[in-house]
């Protein structure tokens, strides 16, 4: 089975995760894919294949050298985003992309246009896997899984490439921020690892947002509007007032690069009660702490204005910038850069404007930067995957294994 066949086979599995679930994995359908992958890893000949009670799958490609090489790993997630349907995916291959619009559904006029997505033009002449415009594709992160599995197959078929013990792991629930929570770092047994979960070819990421969530509750007082003067506290209106007090220019749609933001993700309410949900993001740890304080200060200001505790905020940290854990081990990045260069991939080091399992794993003692998997336009029906990008990601994995085998020489 080649890498394209492997990936297309994976898209048959609907593996959406669910934020409102209390189980791990968060959805039963992730189990079906995990069990399938377990069988596949056993069939290709990996050792110590184990699917634990939480849906985490581990395996090892044994070393083929007597050299004392560091034990490293590669990780990808099995779930797809809850933002868009992952059921009944109908992928097709656009051969030798011509540089124009890719029509996904002519009748519904759903298309991927380089006018909207100019990065598409960098893949002119390539074969590209797309959807039918009504589901996501699942390249995030089934492309990463396919690349890791295919790299292990390639290494077994080419014993002349020396490598140490190579560990692989596939986890559930990354898309809901829970992918690393029950990951057994000790069982994994690696000095460092790489998640294959980036996007465009060449992406190498070891910086991500510090992240927190804020749940804000507003308690009002309902009084007949004809007699409400000096008595009514309209929770819905106070909630709108709070939103207006937040920095207008510090939202996702107004920021880029290293700029942080406050993102209003939900708002509901009436006169008696209103609720708001924010996520808080910043690469700089000091500014991140200031942002959390800023949310609380806005709530305190409103409480002072209305003379009672009408607004309460619950702020919780979610994950932190992995840079502080990776920087002391920059050889991990140097190896990845060298591997990409050997694979003919232009290296693009950039911060992640989001999170990754690698961030949480880095703080659990497993330095874990993120490498491209090749897919684009994640979490929506315009997702696509250039086939050459998959091959380059697979080759990068192979080159990392080969370079690491000689690390201690």
As annotated, the active-site residues are: 79, 174
DSSP letter assigned to residue 19: T
Decide: 278 and 214 in contact? Cβ < 8 Å. Answer: yes
Query: Which tokens is 300 given?
Result: 């305190």
What's 401's DSSP letter?
H
- In this structure, are residues 398 and 154 in contact, taking their beta carbons and an 8 Å threshold? yes
By C-alpha distance, which of 138, 142, 141, 163 is closest to 152?
A: 163
Give the integer Cα–Cα distance in Å for 408 and 281: 38
**What is the H or E stretch that residue 245 is in?**
helix 235-245
What are the phi and psi torsion angles at 19 (to 5°)?
-65, -30
Instruction: Return d(Cα 209, Cα 188) in angstroms, integer.
Output: 25
CA separation for the pair 172, 27 (Å, rounded): 9
Specify the pairing of strand 203-205 against strand 348-349. Answer: parallel
Residue 164 CA, chain-centre distance (Å), reads 28
Cβ(277)–Cβ(313) under 8 Å? no
**Cβ contact 210:321 at 8 Å:** yes
């Amino acid at each position: 089975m080649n890498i394209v066949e492997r990936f297309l086979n994976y898209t048959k599995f609907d593996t959406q995760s669910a934020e409102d679930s209390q189980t791990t994995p968060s959805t039963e359908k992730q189990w079906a894919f995990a069990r399938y992958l377990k069988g596949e890893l056993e069939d290709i000949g990996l050792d110590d294949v184990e699917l634990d009670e939480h849906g985490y799958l581990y395996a090892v490609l044994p070393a083929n050298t007597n050299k004392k090489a560091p034990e490293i790993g590669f990780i990808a997630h099995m779930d797809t985003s809850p933002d868009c349907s992952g059921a009944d995916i109908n992928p097709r291959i656009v051969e030798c992309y011509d540089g124009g619009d890719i029509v996904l559904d002519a009748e519904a006029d759903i298309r991927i246009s380089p006018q909207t997505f100019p990065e598409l033009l960098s893949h002119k002449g390539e074969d590209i896997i797309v959807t039918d415009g009504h589901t996501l594709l699942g390249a995030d992160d089934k492309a990463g899984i396919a690349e890791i599995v295919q790299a292990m197959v390639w290494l077994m078929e080419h014993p002349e490439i020396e490598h140490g013990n190579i560990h692989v792991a596939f986890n559930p629930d990354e898309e809901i921020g829970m992918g690393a929570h029950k990951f057994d770092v000790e069982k994994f047994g690696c000095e460092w690892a790489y998640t294959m979960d980036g996007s465009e070819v060449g992406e190498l990421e070891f910086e991500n947002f510090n992240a927190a969530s804020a749940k804000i509750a507003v308690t009002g007082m309902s009084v007949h509007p004809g007699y409400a003067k000096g008595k009514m506290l309209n929770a819905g209106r106070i909630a709108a007032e709070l939103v207006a007090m937040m920095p207008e220019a510090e939202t996702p749609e107004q920021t880029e690069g290293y700029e942080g933001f406050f993102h209003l993700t939900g708002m509901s309410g009436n006169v008696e009660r209103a609720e708001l949900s924010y996520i808080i993001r910043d690469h700089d740890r000091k500014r991140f702490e200031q942002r959390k304080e800023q949310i609380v200060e806005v709530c305190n200001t409103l409480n002072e204005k209305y003379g009672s505790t009408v607004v309460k905020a619950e702020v919780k940290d979610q994950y932190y910038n992995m840079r502080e854990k990776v920087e002391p081990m920059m050889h991990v990045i140097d190896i990845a850069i060298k591997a990409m260069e050997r694979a003919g991939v232009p290296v693009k080091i950039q911060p992640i404007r989001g999170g990754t399992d690698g961030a949480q794993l880095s703080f659990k003692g497993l330095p874990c930067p993120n490498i491209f998997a090749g897919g684009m336009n994640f979490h929506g029906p315009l997702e696509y995957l250039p086939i050459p990008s998959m091959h380059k990601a697979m080759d990068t994995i192979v080159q990392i294994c080969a370079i690491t085998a000689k690390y201690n020489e």
